[in-house]
Amino acid sequence: MLEPSEQALYRAAYYDGKSAVRHEVAVHLREGALDIVTSDGTILDQWLYREATFADQGSGGIRVAKTDSEARLIFHDSTAFTALRARAPDLHTREKHARRGMMVAIISTVAVLVGVYFLLPFVTAGIVSITPLSYETRLGKSLSTGVVELFSDEDSKGVCDNAEGAMALSALVKYVSQYTDPPLTYQVQVLDIDVVNAMALPGGYIYVFRGLLEQAEGEGELAGVLAHEMAHVDLRHPMHGLVRSYGMSMLSDMMFGGSTMGSMSSVLMTTSYSREAEEQADVAAIDSLDRAGLGAEGMAKFFERLRTAEEKSSLGLPGFLSTHPESGARERRARSGARSEARAVRKILTTDQWNDLRTICE
Amino acid sequence: MYDQDFRDSSVTLSTGDYSIRPEGQVLIKSHVRLRPFFKLYIINVLMQLITLGFYRFWGKTEIRRHMWSHVECLGDRFEYTGTAKDLIKGFLIVLVVFLLPLVIIRRVASVFVIVGMEISPKLLIAEYLINILFIVFFFSVATFSARRYKLSRTNWRGIHSAQKGSALVYGLLYVGCVFITLLTVGLAWPACSVVLMRYKMAHTWIGTQQLGFEPSIGVLYKSFVVVWTALAGLLFLEGYFFQTLLLEFYQYLQESDLEMAVMAFMTGLPGLLFLIPVVPGIPLLLWYRGKTLHHFVESSSFMGRRLSSVITGWGYLELVISNTIMTVLTLGLAVPFTMMRQLSYVEKHVGLSGDGNFAELLQSEVVKPGAGEGLADAFDVGAI
C-alpha cells in the first residue's frame, strides 16, 4: 500500500501506561502498524493504525492514545502527526470531536422537546381520567377561593352577588346548560374586575369578569361566552391544563435545571396546547348553543368585537405566541358552524332581568 | 497550525506579590492562554443557550480537556480522559433513581397542601429539618463522588489517579461535622475540617501510590481563635445594633408614628444584614480558608516528596475577592480569566521539594467509575 520511501521515523515521547517512566522513542510508521523503537533499537510496542486515537493537543504536544489503554505517544511537531493521521482511520482532531459533540447536543435537545410535545397530551389525558371528580371538586374549591382572594381589594368586592342579578344569572346559566354534558355542577359567578374576560377552573368553577358583562351587547353574547366556558368544564380542560403545567415544570426542572430557555420552551408548548383546547371548546359551545335553540350569532358578535378591539390595540402577537386562536377565525367558525342560523334567536331574560344581571356588581 | 499552540507564551497575570517563592521546584506550571480558552468558554455558553443547557456535559468536558492539557507538572502535561457520555450517564442515573422520585414526592405533597389536607406544624418543622439534613448529606456525597470521577479521569505520564473511600461514609462524616460544629458554636470546625480533608486526601491515590497527609489541628486553631473571636465580636455588635434599632422602633410606635417606626427600622436593615455581618465576616472566613489551605498543602506528601506552600490568608482573600468582583461585573464573562488566575496562584504559591523516583510509580489498579458527577450536576456543584 505505502511505498518504502513513505515509511518514516518520527521522534516522540512514549508512556506505556504501566509505569510513569518517560521513553524518548522513534515512531516507525510501517505498513499496517507502527513500531515504537528506543534509541538502542528495542521495539517497546506495536500499535495497529486503527488503535490510534486522538487524546488531546495541549502545550506539550499532540497526544495520541492507544484505544482502551493508558499508553500514550506524544508528538512534538505536526508533521509526525499529519503523517500518522494519513494512515490511522480513527485519528480525528479536536475540532472534529467538538463539532460532533455540538451536533449530538442539538439533535438530542430537539428530539427531547419533540418527544415531550407529542407524548404530553396522552400522559395528561391519562392522569386526568384517573383523577376522581371528588378530588377535582376539592381542588377547584381551594383554587377558586384563591382566585377570589386575589381579586378582592379596596376597589373590588370580589364576587358580585346582589340578589336580583344572581337570580338572572342562574336563569341564564340554566337555559344555556340545557344540552351540555357536565361531569360536575357548574358554579358560575361574576367577579368585580374591569377586564373583558371569563375563565373556567377545575371543579366546574366559571368566572365571568364585570368588564365582559358591561361590554356585552345583549344576552346572546353572554350566553355564547358561558357556553364556551361550560364546554371547557365538560372537556375537563382546566384539569388538563393544571396537570400539564405541573408535568412540564417538573420536566423542565429536571432536564434543564430550571433554565430560562427551558421555561420559555414550556410556555411556547402551553400556548399551543391551549389554542387547541380553545378551538375544541368553541366547537362544543356552538353545538350546545344550537341545540338550546340559541344560535351562535351572539358568540360570533362577541368575537367580532374582540377582533376590532384587537385591531385597535394592534399588539399583533403572532399566532404561535397567543394562548387563544385568532378572533377573526373564531368569529367565522361561529357563524358557519351554527345550523340554526335561520331560526329566530330565543329570548331568555326579560329586559329587566338583563339589566339586573348587568348591574350585579352594584 | 499545530505548532502555534506549542508556544509557551502565557498572558501575564498579576495576583499580588510573588517575591516569596515556595520551597523546591514549582508543582504546576500553567500554559493556558487567554484567547483560545476564552473562545472555548464562549462557545460553551452559546451552545448551552441553544440547547437549553443540555450542552453542559460536552462544554465541561472540552474545557477540562483544554485546561488539563495546558497544565504542566514536572515536565509533563496532565490529560483529562473523561467524556460527555460519562457525564450524561451519571446524569441519567441520578435522574431516574434520585431526582424523579424526589420531584414526584414533592409535587404530590404540594398538591395535598393545595387541597387543604391538615398538616400539623410539628410535621412541617420535621420536614424542614429533614430537608436540610438531606441537602447537606447529598451535597457532600455529590462533591465526593465528583472528586472520584475527576481523579479517575486525570492522567499524568499515562498513570491515572483514584479516589478510594466511600462517598456515603464521607456524607455521614460531613453531616456529623455540621452537627458537632453547631453544638459547639463553631469551635469544633477546625478539627472537623481536618477529619473531612484527611478522609479525602488519605484516600487519594496516584497510580499505586497513596498521598500522604499529616496536618496538625493545633496549627489551625492558632488562626481559628482569631477568626472566632472576631466573629463573636461581630455577633455582639450585631445584637447591640439590633437592640438599638428595636428600641427606636418601639419609641416611634409608642408615639403611634407607624411610618417613622418602619422608616427607622428599614434604614437600619442594610447595616443589620450587610455592613456588620457580611462586610467583615466574609473576608475573615476567606482569610482563615487561605490559612487552612496553606497548612493542608504543607501537610501533603507524595512518594517521599513534600508539597510546600507560601499561600497566605491575605493573598488568598485578595484572589477570591478580586475574582468574584470581576465575575460579577462582567456577568460571568471573566470566568476563564479568573480560572487562569487561580492556576497562576497555585503555580506561584505551591512547590515540591525533596526527591523521589517516579519511575517506581505504577499504573493504578483501582477500577474507574463508568459514569460521573450526576449528583454533583443535580446540585449544581459540578463546576469545572
DSSP A293: T
What residues make up the domain containing B349? 2-215+299-379
- Residue A340 confidence (pLDDT): 52
* pLDDT category of residue A246 using cuts at 50, 70 and 90: confident
At residue A1, does pLDDT exceed 50? no
Spatial distance between the Cα atoms of B137 and B363, rounded to a whole number of angstroms: 33
Contact in structure between B24 and B353 (CB atoms under 8 Å): yes
The mean pLDDT value for B60-64 works out to: 94
- Residue B64 confidence (pLDDT): 95
A residues 307..326 contacting B (CB < 8 A): none
**Which three cell numbers mark B255?**
408615639
- Residue A194 confidence (pLDDT): 81
Measure Cα distances from A31 to A5, A46, A48, A66, B190 in Å. Answer: 12, 12, 9, 17, 62
Containing A73, the helix (H) or strand (E) segment is strand A72-75
Closest of A69, A80, A103, A93 to residue A29, by C-alpha: A80
A2 or A234, higher pLDDT: A234
- Residue B133 confidence (pLDDT): 85
A29-33, A131-135, A163-167, B317-321, range with greatest mean pLDDT: B317-321
Q: Quick check: is B312 in a domain?
A: yes
Q: Quick check: is B330 in a domain?
A: yes
How many other C-beta atoms are found inside a 10 Å radius of the C-beta of residue B258? 10
- Minimum distance, in Å, between the CA of residue B284 and any CA atom of chain A: 33
* A147-197 residue pLDDT tens: 888 777 766 678 888 888 888 899 888 888 888 878 888 989 898 888 778
Q: Quick check: is B241 in a domain?
A: no
Q: Quick check: is B116 in a domain?
A: yes
At residue B6, does pLDDT exceed 50? no
At residue A336, does pLDDT exceed 80? no
A88-102, A230-244, B88-102, B337-351, range with greatest mean pLDDT: B337-351
At residue A8, does pLDDT exceed 60? yes
Which of B65, B84, B114 shows the shortest C-beta gap to A142? B114
A124-128, B69-73, B129-133, B257-261, range with greatest mean pLDDT: B69-73
- Residue B369 confidence (pLDDT): 82
- Residue B11 confidence (pLDDT): 42
Closest of B8, B15, B16 to residue B32, by C-alpha: B8
Does residue B383 sit at the A interface (CB-CB below 8 Å)? no
Residues of B in contact with A109 (CB under 8 A): 50-52, 54
Containing A9, the helix (H) or strand (E) segment is strand A9-15
pLDDT > 70: percent of chain B: 88
End-to-end alpha carbon distance in chain A = 97
* A interface test, pick of B363, B367, B381 with most A CB neighbours within 10 Å: B363
- Residue B9 confidence (pLDDT): 39
Q: Please, what sign has the CA dihedral across residues A308, A314, A320, A322?
A: negative
Class of residue B241 by CB neighbours under 10 A (exposed 0-12, middle 13-18, buried 19+): middle
The mean pLDDT value for B287-297 works out to: 96
Question: For the packed helices A237-256 and A94-130, what is the interaxial angle rounded to 10 degrees?
Answer: 150
At residue B365, does pLDDT exceed 90? no
Kindly provide the residue ranges of all beta strands, DSSP E only, lying in chain B, ordered along the sequence.
Answer: 25-26, 29-30, 71-73, 76-80, 154-156, 159-163, 204-206, 209-210, 212-213, 300-302, 305-309, 350-353
- Residue A151 confidence (pLDDT): 76
Q: Count of A–B CB contacts within 8 Å?
A: 148
Q: Quick check: is B261 in a domain?
A: no
* A14-27 residue pLDDT tens: 999 999 999 999 99
At residue B206, does pLDDT exceed 90? yes
* A188-209 residue pLDDT tens: 989 888 877 888 888 889 988 8
- Minimum distance, in Å, between the CA of residue A225 and any CA atom of chain B: 29
- Residue B153 confidence (pLDDT): 93
- Residue A138 confidence (pLDDT): 85
Dihedral through CA B18, CA B22, CA B26, CA B30, nearest 10? -30
Does residue B62 sit at the A interface (CB-CB below 8 Å)? yes
- Residue B270 confidence (pLDDT): 81
At residue A128, does pLDDT exceed 60? yes
Spatial distance between the Cα atoms of A266 and A270, rounded to a whole number of angstroms: 6
- Minimum distance, in Å, between the CA of residue A142 and any CA atom of chain B: 6
Helix, strand, or coil (residue B299): coil
- Residue B341 confidence (pLDDT): 96
Q: What b-and-e string marks burial along A76-99, b requiring 16 or more CB atoms within 10 Å of the CB? A: bebebbebbbebbeebeebeebbe
Does residue A54 sit at the B interface (CB-CB below 8 Å)? no
Relative to beta strand B204-206, strand B209-210 is antiparallel
Helix, strand, or coil (residue A23): strand
* pLDDT category of residue B151 using cuts at 50, 70 and 90: very high
Q: Quick check: is B12 in a domain?
A: yes
Please state the separation of Cα A307 from the chain's center in Å.
26
Q: What angle do CA A289, A290, A292 make, to 5 degrees?
A: 65
The mean pLDDT value for B308-330 works out to: 95
- Residue B5 confidence (pLDDT): 40
Question: For the packed helices A219-234 and A163-176, what is the interaxial angle rounded to 10 degrees?
Answer: 60
A58-67, A95-104, B183-192, range with greatest mean pLDDT: B183-192
**Single-letter amino acid code for the residue at A52:** A
- Residue B3 confidence (pLDDT): 39
- CB contact under 8 Å between A21 and B77, yes or no, is no
Does residue A117 sit at the B interface (CB-CB below 8 Å)? no
DSSP B271: I
- Output the pTM of the full model: 0.78
Class of residue A26 by CB neighbours under 10 A (exposed 0-12, middle 13-18, buried 19+): middle
Helix, strand, or coil (residue B309): strand
Dihedral through CA B202, CA B204, CA B210, CA B211, nearest 10? -70
How many other C-beta atoms are found inside a 10 Å radius of the C-beta of residue A283? 13
Closest of B380, B366, B344 to residue B151, by C-alpha: B366
- Residue B308 confidence (pLDDT): 93
B59 or B117, higher pLDDT: B59
* A66-106 residue pLDDT tens: 988 899 999 988 888 888 988 888 887 767 778 888 999 99
Concatenate the DSSP letters of all residues of A76-119 into one string: SSHHHHHHHHTT-TT---HHHHHHHHHHHHHHHHHHHHHHHHHH
Contact in structure between B154 and B68 (CB atoms under 8 Å): yes
Contact in structure between A238 and A229 (CB atoms under 8 Å): no
- Residue B322 confidence (pLDDT): 96
Contact in structure between B165 and B213 (CB atoms under 8 Å): no
Q: Quick check: is B195 in a domain?
A: yes
Does residue B106 sit at the A interface (CB-CB below 8 Å)? no
* pLDDT category of residue B293 using cuts at 50, 70 and 90: very high
DSSP A230: H
Residue B371: phi and psi, rounded to 5, are: -135, 160
**Which three cell numbers mark A121?**
397530551
At residue B112, does pLDDT exceed 90? no
Q: Quick check: is B222 in a domain?
A: no
Q: Which residue of B has its CA nearest to A263?
A: B52
Question: For the packed helices B335-349 and B34-50, what is the interaxial angle rounded to 10 degrees?
Answer: 140
Relative to beta strand A187-191, strand A205-209 is parallel
Q: Tell me the pLDDT of chain B averaged across its residues.
A: 85
pLDDT > 70: percent of chain A: 84
**Which three cell numbers mark B381?**
456543584
Which of A56, A94, A112 shows the shortest C-beta gap to B79? A56
At residue A317, does pLDDT exceed 60? no
At residue B302, does pLDDT exceed 60? yes
Total domains present in chain B: 1
* pLDDT category of residue B380 using cuts at 50, 70 and 90: low
